[in-house]
Each structure stands twice: as C-alpha cells, then as structure tokens.
Amino acid sequence: MVLLTMIARIADGLPLAATMQDDEQSGKNILEYQNQAKLLFRKLNTSSPPRCSIETGPFLFHYLIENDVCYLVLAEKNYSKRLAFSYLEDIAQEFHSQYGKKVNTVTRPYSFIEFDTYIQKAKKLFTDSRARRNLSSLNTELQDVQRIMVHNIDDVLQRGVLLSELDTKAQNLSILSQKYKKDATFLNTKSMYMKAAVGCIILLVVFLYFWVL
C-alpha cells in the first residue's frame, strides 16, 4: 500500500507537492515519516543515485530523481518494488509535463499542491489488484529494480551519511578493482618481456662467445 507521496526540488529540497493517507489515524502516524522525507530531500543532490530504496521501520521509502526533481513514495515492505517505481515513473512524467518549466521559478512550499488530484488517481490505479496482475507489462526499464541498493534511514539521516557518498564509495571500489586488474596485467606483461629480453641477451652473449672463438 502507498502511504505517502512527496515531490521536491533537488536544488534546495523545497517540497512541491504531497499527499498522504486519507484516514485520520494513519495520517497522524505518517507525519513522522513525512518529516523524515523532508530531511531526506535536504540530503539529496545531483550526485545522488537516481533510484534508491531506504528502509525506515516497517516501511520503505522509494525515490526517483528526474529532471532535478525527486519523486518519493512511502510504502509497506511487502508492496512490489517494481510497482512502486512504475508508480513514480508515472507521476514523474505527468508532473514534468504540467510543471516542468515552472519548477525553478517557485519559492514557497507546495506550490503545486493541486497535483494531488493526479497523485490520488495514480495511487488508486497502482493499488488496484488488476495493476498487480499486470506487472509483466510494466516498463522494461524497471525490470532491474531488485538490484537497487536498500539503505537504512538511520545511516542516511542520523549518522549524516550522504547517499551520494555511499554511491561514490561503491563506484570507487569498482574503479580500484579495475585498476588492480590492469596493473596486474601490466606487471605480468612487463615480466614476460623482461624474461624474453634476458633470454635474448644470454643467446647473444653465447653467440658472440663462440663467434669470436
């Protein structure tokens, strides 16, 4: 189930639109996660992973960054990750179509709160059992969402670990691994050439020795 949807500008974390559960009890409980989402928006930047899932209590934040705007949803852990990112893709496309040119011009929070109407419509569609049965027809680009790394909200917020730093560390490990392989190949090649050179020198010395004699 989708419990909270928020849209924010990456440049400064300004919330642009939002919607949450309609019933009062759930709404009160979700306020805590809404505050977490606002803190998360301030941590994100243009270097952050474009797609990510973040564990928080019994729920997961899933977010998508497109055109310098972050689209975030809070859902139960058993809610399909593919469905969640398909939902985010849908609202991202519609939001950019309606407000893409205005995003950088607004200064007050929730300037596009009227987008809640479309969010509610999309949420209903992606919660419907028929949508769940049609997972196979989702955008093929979303087939690898299971590979998206899941971070913990404590690491991201309380310990101040930037998502971009976590992503950079992973990239650095990959680069170091590739560099190690290249260095090892270079050293092996260099060693082979040195052995060949030594062999040639020995043969030359032997040849000259017998030729002089």
Where is mean pLDDT largest: 60-69, 139-148, 173-182? 60-69
**Residue 30 confidence (pLDDT) above 70:** yes
Number of Cβ within 10 Å of residue 176's Cβ equals 10
Going by C-beta distance under 8 Å and a sequence separation of 6 or more, which residues neighbour residue 47? 164, 167, 168
| CB 48 within 8 Å of CB 167 | yes
Q: Summarize the confidence of residues 197-210 as an average pLDDT.
A: 68
Q: Give the sign of the dihedral formed by CA 30, CA 56, CA 89, CA 38.
A: positive
**Residue 186 confidence (pLDDT) above 80:** no
**Residue 140 confidence (pLDDT) above 50:** no
